[in-house]
Amino acid sequence: MLTALILAAVLSQSQPGAADLAPAFGNTLVSTYPDGRTARMWLQPNGRYEGRGRRGGASSGVWSVRDGQVCFGQRRPIWSPRSFCTPIVRGGIGTKWTARAVTGETIQVELMAGR
């Protein structure tokens, strides 16, 4: 399942791009759902990601940037023909924001150091 650890909007002067995702490489995006469970995602600079959903399942796929958003296409465990896009947030380790999960739930996301 594509985790929605995902990057929400932060007001900025210019449209965010792939360079704004660099702080996530080598670190962990942690999404906390309303039920208190967490999901984790690890972005790689080559356009791939790996994730661990809030129910413990592993997923992986590809990411790309379109119109100031990061878009995720799940490839495993089940290939999905649709991608999920969310606004890119700018910031480094410790940055926290509110986002929407692929399920529509409001989640809290934090960029944490390490894997």
Does the reported pTM lie above 0.85? no
CA 92 to each of CA 12, 75, 89: distance values in angstroms, whole numbers, following the listed order? 15, 27, 9
Domain 18-112's class?
Answer: mainly beta
- 48-61: burial string, b at 16+ Cβ within 10 Å, e else: ebbbbbbeeeebbb
User: Going edge to edge, which strands form the sheet with 106-112?
Assistant: 84-87, 69-76, 58-66, 48-52, 38-43, 28-32, 106-112, 96-100
| pLDDT tens for each residue of 46-72 | 999 999 999 999 999 999 999 989 999
Name the nearest CA neighbour of 18 among 65, 63, 62, 54: 65
Q: Domain limits of the chain? A: 18-112
**Mean pLDDT in the chain?**
87
pLDDT score at 99: 94
